[in-house]
Chains A and B, each alone.
Chain A
Amino acid sequence: MKRFRRHGHESHRDRLKQELFQFSKTVEHGFPHQPSALGYSPSLHLLAIGTRSGAIKLYGAPGVEFMGLHDENAAVTQVHFMPHQVEMVTLLDDNSLHMWTLRAHKGLSELLEIGRFMLTGPPGAPPSVTRVTAVLAHSSGELLLLGTEGGHVFVVEVPGFRELEERNISLDQVSNSVPDDYIGRRNLEHVEALHENPTNPSQVVIGYGRGLMVIWDLEKQCAIQHIPATQQLESVCWTEDGSYILSSHSDGSYCRWRVGGQDETEEEEEEEEKSDIPYGHFPCKAITKIVQLPTTEGPPFLLFSGGMPRASYGDRHCITVIHRKIHVALDFTSRIIDFFVIRDGPEHTGDPSVLLVLVEEELVVVDLQTEGWPVIQTPYLVPLHSSAITCSQHVSAIPLKLWERIIAAGKLQNMHYSDKPWPIIGGKNLAPDPAQRDLLLTGHEDGTVRFWDASGVCLYPLYKLSTAPVFHTDADPNDNMNQSAEGEWPPFRKVGCFDPYSDDPRLGIQKIHLCKYSGYLTVAGTAGQILVLELNDESAEQTVEAKVVDLLQGQEGFRWKGHTQLDVREEPVQFPPGFQPFTLVQCQPPAVVTALSLHSEWKLVAFGTSHGFGLYDYQQKNTVLIKCTLNPSDQLALEGPLSRVKSIKKSLRQSFRRIRRSRVSLRKHHVNNPTKLQEANARLEAELAEMELAPVQRKIEARSSDDSFTGLVRTLYFADTFLSDSSHNTPSLWAGTNGGAVYAYMLRLPTVEHRADEPVTAQPAKEIQLMHRAPVVGVVVLDGHGAPLPEPLEVAHDLARSPDMHGSHNLVVISEEQFKVFTLPKVSSKMKLKLTAVDGSRVRRVGVAWFGSNRTEDYAESALVFLTNQGDVHVVSLPHVKMQVHYPCIRREDVSGIASCVFTKHGQGFYLISPSEFERFSLSTRFLVEPRCLVEAPLHLGSSNQHRAEPDGATSAHRTTQHREDAESAARCVMEHALLNDEQVLQEIQKSLEGDQMSFLENNVKKAVV
């Protein structure tokens, strides 16, 4: 590289850059923020989730993921897969309908939007006439029935979205035939539900908000039967055999209605039409959805959501499952969005096997075939934010041994999960197996550290470490989920793991450092606690002693007004297998730990707060060094952390949100008057505009030593380098502060034989005060080759080239404003790269990464990657600190996203796009984790129709052939329609012809193989 530079081959360097760096956002891990709709295709075995921000996400077998985003920034309110097809229809809050498909391209499927549609009413009609409230994707796969707020049902042909006006079912047609004695016939209200007869595709039931249900024959264009329910309707379910309809109502009742009543005797009808309020007597909340599913032997499953007694359990989010004598009210911690049941059998017609519930904050999957209905661990869509994420660390290339031990420890924690394999198995994951095992560690507000398998597309939970047992907390350990007493009514059972309410904000994890070779882990928290933990495969009883370290070092005139330290349990505590704490260092004052570093080879841990930093020898359990970095005039640092305040605010906000949410959930979407909404939006916008008009001014002033928090320790770094002279390298500790100071200490470690008894000493060696006084966010020492020093134990494990100790080392100091290279051992400025002075951005996150060329296997170089406060990621070369590439990555307004960013050693990174989702991005051409998967259309399009139509007997064969013809003509119609009305669709079709042909070919080949 040097040679190229010397010869001025800039073009060569440019080419090399292209081989090394490329930016892409690859996959979103975790649970979608604010989900608003759920869909499931039994034929594709795919799950779809729509969100309030207009995103649509598809999930199949682990690793099979698709994501799409509607151009409109409107919430997805409904998702419906077209039966037996790869198409999907979404309904948005703005009343637009969208058609999506999975199209194969170069052997991989892509999620594409292929059409959009908005119902147009007759001229002059109020918007409610065409406001869609119910959607039925007809089993023929060619029709969409759209029920509206005005009470009409529009019939639309898909995929071209052609309105079939002659087949529309207008309110007048229906209300004319309503029996005169029906009390609500004057106003049937909106269409609440549309359901198809499972045994006869030409019959649909139209449920009106007022309660009336009408069975309508699509072919004869007439009402067959009226079901005169009088309660406000919430949902409708047609039983599998087509003989009953279940309706649920706003008063918490549900009714069973016999279908085809004309032929039956009066008595029988009386018997069958039973109504029930399951949690009766006192007023109950609405049952929002009801499903009844048969079993091959024995009574059917009945599942419904809601219906709780309003006064006593009105705030619970429950789904009740009733089978035989078993009656359980699954109690969720957040609002239920929707649920469905997966059934056995290739055609999705067997026994119910799994209940899948989408709640606001997580996806809960309940195994209905195993005794006790245990929960199945989800391989994706895991709520990262089950307690708020406070920090994260990424560890690349975990040795197999450690990996297996962590998995083993995690398995013991997951004993309560069902063994049933993951039921959603659609699509094929074609991504190559991950090249290495990567761990992502997330620290949480409740004092837990979660270990995630971040090697592939699925961020899979491996193990959860809780630090709370070390301390006395307010929470009673017995006060957990299993509080329901025997015989309680309703029979609640808590499910799900989303629990954002922290017992004690001081437990929050602030910094994590795992040594992947030794299995030592150190975590530090909000109240100045630093725990050193060791991986142990056996459970053990230990007493954790706290070593108090006074970082103020006798400075007078302090009054710490922040939180107190946590009370340590003095009695021995039983720790389960996994990471077990053996040392606790308690900083005094107990301020948030702001920097942490572990050197497992030297058995030292360094930690820093806003008051100073310390070095602790965890083998001898002895403090080696304490350095106070505090500026005596810095009152803010003395009085206490802001995080505590923030935390209280946060929890308050959360509880208010919870209250509000439960209120919002009372009213359903279509009750909202759209004009009112618009008004509210306009008002909000005006308010926002006003806020923006308020004068904002910024002071322009040079930084001085009197600024607040100059003593805050931002970074700590261990290095074996030349600190005193250029012939002897010694261990050293480096610390950088918020005030632009760097402190270097020379460490003297006893020989291995005397490590346990001779003291470790630290002597101050160097101090650097950067003139620009910007916070020092990183310190890196480069070896004689200009490569960053390897991690501790890396060389010992033969995983890294040993550093070049012959050439002269260099020190790279990364401040928020610039990158500076100094020589070692005599510190003098060598070169630098200014960032802020040139473009006004500041370094927020920085990491050292290794980039391999995608062209040749043997070329790679180290570089610094960093994220600025403007949300851009940059790559800076080492050792010459030259800007290489930069890409916009995060919106600059997304402060929490920028703060959450973490880089991997191989040029990837993660940041939170919502409290519950990590976005993974990659800067490297060689290391890239992205979903690569293929979903094929169901092979036998006609056969399932045949199967379903069997009960109808002889007519079915005729009907299917007719369907075929219809399908062909429909396709023609679509083409014509597209040609005539929508050039865009035409272009889409033309553009994708190639891809279609390919997938078609592939399908044929597969058919042949079968």
Chain B
Amino acid sequence: MVSSAEPNRTEPSRMSRLPPPQRKTPVRMTETMVEVKSKFEAEYRRFGLKRNGSGGFQEFYRLLQTIHHIHGVDLLLGYADIHGDLLPINNDENFHKAVSSANPLLRIIITKREGEPIVYGTNSLQRRRKGLSLTGLRPTGSGTINSKNKSSLLIGPPQNFRQISSIIDVDILPETHRRVRLHKHGTKKPLGFYIRDGVSVRVTPQGVEKVPGVFISRLVRGGLAESTGLLAVNDEILEVNGIDVAGKSLDQVTDMMVANSHNLIVTVKPANQRNNVVHRGSKNSMGNSGSVDSAGSTGSVLSHDSPSPASQSNPITASSSIAEGDSEDDDDDGDIILENECLTVYNPQTANKRDSVNLNGELSRGGTHPSNMGRPLPQSVSLPGSIGASLGYSAHATSGHNGSLTRTASSSQDSIKEDGTELTL
């Protein structure tokens, strides 16, 4: 999830000072019509829309393009719902929802798709209440947990939605335990948690016994672990990727977690046992975590009060997913192997003048040049499997695989093969 808020787009003070829109659409307050106020950058348009049978999303999209004279620009549509939340419109379903819930005004916010993605949030529009006295938008005492929550929860644009965590194996684990899978791939977001030694109390046939255990000691704000809402400080770690950590030192557990960081599955005994997963059908809330896990894969726990666009669910992950050799996330496929007979050739004479090495992140310069190297040999770039997984890891690697395979233009280098594709790490 991208969590950077962008307040300037909806700043109330700027809005009020703006001149009125030039081409007003006649507004009639009829029951069949919805008053629409759309905003693109600094411009507002007001127009009416039939509440029933007003076509689909595509039609509405084209209408807005016409009204705002912004043809050929990729747009993102959002609307303010009754709770004051900014929610996206990107299909017929949520368009109709938006229209039907408009009361009385439907406020549309249009943004360009390029640049930084807009952030949808559950209370991202609340700050407008003062300026525009939009209290009417929001019935008091709606009872949602989120409305009382001071820290805003952020909802990314739909195309950015992907699985970042899941609760798995609910059916085979005791109710007091929780197995959480953190999907690190594709994000630059840190896993963001710390572990510590501690003392765990176990009930054994011999009575209560104190044994050493490993606990979560800290969650980094904005980190993956925190954003899932599934892990909390003082949760005891019982297993890492299916391997019991009993008897292992803190350093061992650390190393195990780091080694599995691309697909980390931790089994914890939550410190707060009130929010435990109860087998299927339970409507227990996740407390104030309100997990944004978009793909509540087990479909059992994530009862979200606000209408979330991420209601689609992935197939339930079987318990075998933690077993070794899980091909989907196996890191085998993540190794980047560059094979080239002539990457760069060291030339002692020019070595000191030439920046012969492109280190991480530095893009190689383009350009071709003749070469008189030995026998021509095939070169290849092998990046088997999940490209996505490696993309997030190394920016330089993506540059290589997106087809922008560049050649190092070292004019002083005459030893690079004619058809050699230059790749540098």
Contact = CB atoms under 8 A, between A and B. Distances in A.
B151 to A, nearest CB: 23
A764 B248 contact: no
Contact of B377 (A725, A767, A838): A725
Interface stretch (B100-108, B254-262, B293-301, B312-320): B254-262
B43 interface: no
B357 A627 contact: yes
Given A696-B196, A702-B261, A771 B345 contact: no
B278 interface: no
Interface in B345-362: 345-346, 348, 351-357, 359-362
Contacts of B3: none
A764 B340 contact: yes
B52 interface: no
A869 B255 CA distance: 11
Contacts of A836: 255-256, 258-259
Given A695-B217, A700-B261, A817-B259, A767 B338 contact: yes
A49 to B, nearest CB: 35
B259 A826 contact: no
Contacts of A769: 335-337, 394, 397, 425
B175 interface: no
For B240, B342, B359, the residue with the greatest tally of chain A CB atoms inside 10 Å of its CB is B359
B340 A628 contact: no
B339 interface: yes
A765 interface: yes
Contact of A765 (B334, B340, B359): B340
Contacts of B425: 741, 767, 769
Contacts of B257: 700
Contact of B341 (A765, A771, A772): A765
Interface of B is mostly: loop
For A701, A817, A820, the residue with the greatest tally of chain B CB atoms inside 10 Å of its CB is A701
B161 to A, nearest CB: 22
B191 A701 contact: yes
A700 B248 contact: no
Nearest to B256: A840
A769 B394 CA distance: 10
Interface stretch (A306-314, A376-384, A511-519, A827-835): A827-835
Contacts of A630: 359
Contact of A632 (B196, B331, B346, B359): B359
B359 A842 contact: no
Contacts of B184: 702
Contact of B254 (A700, A703, A826): A700
A106 interface: no
A839 B257 CA distance: 10
B255 A764 contact: no
A710 to B, nearest CB: 8
Q: What class of interface size applies to chain B in its complex with A?
A: 35 or more
Interface string A776-791: 0000000000000000
Given A631-B359, A700-B257, A829-B335, A834 B217 contact: no
For A550, A702, A832, A841, the residue with the greatest tally of chain B CB atoms inside 10 Å of its CB is A702
Given A704-B393, A834-B324, A838-B324, A764 B342 contact: yes
Contacts of B331: 771-772
B243 interface: yes
B384 interface: yes
Given A631-B360, A771-B335, A763 B342 contact: yes
A763 B253 CA distance: 41
A820 B352 CA distance: 36
A870 interface: yes
A3 interface: no
A553 B342 CA distance: 19
Given A702-B261, A840-B252, A827 B337 contact: yes
A626 B351 contact: yes
Contacts of B218: 697
Interface residues of A, number: 62
Interface string A742-769: 0000100000000000000111111111
Contact of A838 (B243, B249, B335, B339): B243
B348 A771 contact: no
Interface string A693-729: 0011111111111000000000000000000110000
B346 A624 contact: yes
Interface in B232-267: 240-241, 243, 245, 248-262, 264
Contacts of B243: 838-839
B380 interface: yes
Interface in A818-867: 818, 820, 822, 826-829, 832, 834, 836-842
Interface in B365-412: 373, 377, 380, 382, 384, 389-390, 393-394, 397
B193 interface: yes
Nearest to A759: B348
Nearest to A550: B352
Contacts of B254: 698-700, 840
Interface string A616-645: 000000111111101110000000000000
A698 B196 CA distance: 6
Nearest to B343: A764
Contact of B394 (A622, A705, A829, A839): A705
B262 A840 contact: no
Given A554-B353, A771-B390, A838-B243, A870 B252 contact: yes
A892 interface: yes
B346 A626 contact: yes
A770 interface: yes
Contacts of B357: 553, 555, 627-628
Interface in A580-630: 622-628, 630
B344 interface: yes
A628 B352 contact: no
Contact of A705 (B248, B342, B360, B384): B360
Nearest to A769: B336
A834 B331 CA distance: 11
Contacts of A770: 335
A731 to B, nearest CB: 14
A768 B341 CA distance: 14
B196 A767 contact: no
Contacts of B191: 700-702
B351 A724 contact: no
Contacts of B248: 839-840
Given A763-B345, A838-B324, A839-B243, A701 B258 contact: yes
B190 A841 contact: no
A701 to B, nearest CB: 6
B195 interface: yes
B92 interface: no
Contacts of A212: none
A205 interface: no
A703 B337 contact: no
Contacts of A827: 337, 339, 382
A355 interface: no
B343 A767 contact: yes
A626 B353 CA distance: 13
Interface string B178-209: 00000010000011111111000000000000
B337 A828 contact: yes
Given A553-B356, A700-B257, 16 more contacts: A554-B354, A626-B346, A628-B359, A697-B196, A700-B191, A702-B262, A705-B393, A724-B341, A766-B340, A768-B337, A771-B390, A822-B337, A827-B339, A834-B259, A840-B255, A840-B259
29 contacts: A625-B346, A695-B196, A698-B195, A699-B193, A700-B191, A700-B195, A700-B257, A701-B192, A701-B258, A741-B425, A763-B343, A765-B339, A766-B337, A767-B343, A768-B335, A768-B336, A768-B337, A817-B255, A826-B339, A828-B382, A829-B333, A837-B256, A837-B259, A838-B256, A839-B252, A839-B256, A840-B251, A840-B254, A840-B255
Q: 6 closest pairs, A vs B, by CB?
A: A771-B334, A840-B252, A764-B343, A702-B261, A836-B259, A840-B256
